[in-house]
Structure 1
Amino acid sequence: MSETLAQQWHTVFHLDDLWEGEMESVEVDGKSVLLINLDGEVLAYRNRCPHQDWPLNDGDLEDNKLTCAQHLWEFDVTTGKGINPSTCALLTYQCKVDGDGNISVCVG
């Protein structure tokens, strides 16, 4: 018998508090999540660089590129894929914004 796990959404932030071009670290179900507002679209990633687990919110976000502060690894935040090196990627979480501007994330 197979079981389908229901997705658990957690309301974590409000769109008014995450301006375009900014990022914010939030805790969701015991996991550090990086929220990014990219031209009005909110994206959610695990807040750790895949290289050595450094917090990505310490890095720099410029246009579509996120640079890790520790070893300068670069990521395209529109896809989560690595730019330098290109063989890595960020862990993506599902994210949605409701009509009231509440940002919810599913980390399951």
Structure 2
Amino acid sequence: MSWKVLCNVDDVPINTLKLFPLEGTNILVANYGQGFRAVPPLCPHMEEPLDESGWVMDCALTCMKHLWSWNLETLEKLGETEKPLLTYDVKKEGDSLLVWFEGELVYDFDEDGDDMDDDDFFS
């Protein structure tokens, strides 16, 4: 429960995402140009790995699997996005990016199966 060095700020170029391990937990870092966000590595919609399907552009993080999107500056849900993006607090100290780490952030994924599957979504 303290600030932990996660990476060097130069490790994550503008408009990119990069995954970093921290104490047995993977944390995804997004550089959106005006700052950084640290988030769990899975999309809160259907557990899609955001390091593979995530896209950062115009201050937004979009999961390209089903087009859920969030404004990385305000954390506002964009478009049809239904769930908020969980975040770890981050700060820059010199060239280092630090994260406030109390443990892994985990989404409450829909266990009822109410979410549309890919066939329903794309039909």
* TM-score past 0.5 threshold: yes
Distance 1:32 1:76 in 2: 21
Counterpart of 1:12 (choices 2, 6, 11) is: 6
Counterpart of 2:29 in structure 1 is: 35
Which segments of 5 or more consecutive residues in structure 1 lack a partner in the other structure? 1-6
> Conserved in 1, the CA contact under 8 Å of 2:70 and 2:77?
yes
Counterpart of 1:98 in structure 2 is: 93
Distance 2:93 2:40 in 1: 21
Which segments of 5 or more consecutive residues in structure 2 lack a partner in the other structure? 103-123
Q: 1:41–1:90: structure 2 CA closer, same or farther, 3 Å change rule?
A: same
Provide the aligned C-alpha RMSD in A: 1.7
Q: Deviations over 1:26-55 (max 9, x none)?
A: 122222211112225222111211111111
Counterpart of 2:75 (choices 63, 76, 80) is: 80
TM (normalized to structure 1)?
0.79
Q: How many residues align?
A: 101
Q: 1:93–1:103: structure 2 CA closer, same or farther, 3 Å change rule?
A: same
Counterpart of 2:111 in structure 1 is: none
Q: 2:101 is aligned with what amino acid?
A: V
Higher strand share: 1
TM (normalized to structure 2)?
0.71
Q: 1:51 is paired with a residue of what secondary structure?
A: coil
Tell me the percent identity: 28
Q: Which runs of 4+ in 1 moved over 4 A?
A: none
